[in-house]
């Protein structure tokens, strides 16, 4: 009797853990997809009816044993790569991924060039006439 009770408790605990795991996976995937109606919210954040349908579709695919990658691929085929918040690294997205680094490199190069020019622009030494005027000005005091 005790063995059956322990087995039933174990099965119940595993089913609760599996449901929590499924919900956690659904939430993680919904946070990685863009709501195609709102466009500035994830599917998890959006209250749009389409976002609710997308969450339901995610839940159904995960319940049927679909992997996270398969679910993401399904939505990408259906709505295009725009639906993903984390754009995959492909030849079409190389500019998207490399642009921040290129802009940072260009900005750093411009900054270094300006600093180098400023260091190179040394004021010419004062002539004898300018030194005499400065000394006279200092003796008299500033007007």
| Residue 35: count of CB within 10 angstroms of its CB | 21
**pTM for the model:** 0.53
pLDDT at 20: 55
Q: Are 85 and 42 contacting, i.e. CB atoms less than 8 angstroms apart?
A: yes
CATH 1.10.8.640: which residues of the chain?
1-88
**Residue with tokens 């002539």, as numbered in its chain:** 127
pLDDT at 17: 44
Query: What integer pLDDT is reported at residue 3 of this predicted model?
Result: 58
CA distance 39 to 143: 66
User: What architecture (CATH level 2) is domain 1-88?
Assistant: Orthogonal Bundle (1.10)
Q: What pLDDT, on a 0 to 100 scale, did the predictor assign at position 80?
A: 84
Tell me the HSE value of 12 on the side-chain side, using a 13 A CA sphere.
Answer: 6
Which residues does the chain have with pLDDT short of 50? 9, 11-19
């Amino acid at each position: 009797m005790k063995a059956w009770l322990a087995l039933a408790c174990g099965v119940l605990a595993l089913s609760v853990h599996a449901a929590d795991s499924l919900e956690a996976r659904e939430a993680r995937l919904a946070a990685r997809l863009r709501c195609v109606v709102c466009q500035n919210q994830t599917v998890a954040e959006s209250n749009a009816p389409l976002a609710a349908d997308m969450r339901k579709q995610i839940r159904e695919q995960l319940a049927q044993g679909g992997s996270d990658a398969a679910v993401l691929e399904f939505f990408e085929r259906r709505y295009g790569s725009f639906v993903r918040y984390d754009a995959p690294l492909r030849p079409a997205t190389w500019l998207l991924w490399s642009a921040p680094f290129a802009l940072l490199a260009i900005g750093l190069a411009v900054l270094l060039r300006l600093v180098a020019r400023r260091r190179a622009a040394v004021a010419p030494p004062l002539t004898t006439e300018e030194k005499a005027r400065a000394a006279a000005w200092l003796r008299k005091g500033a007007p």
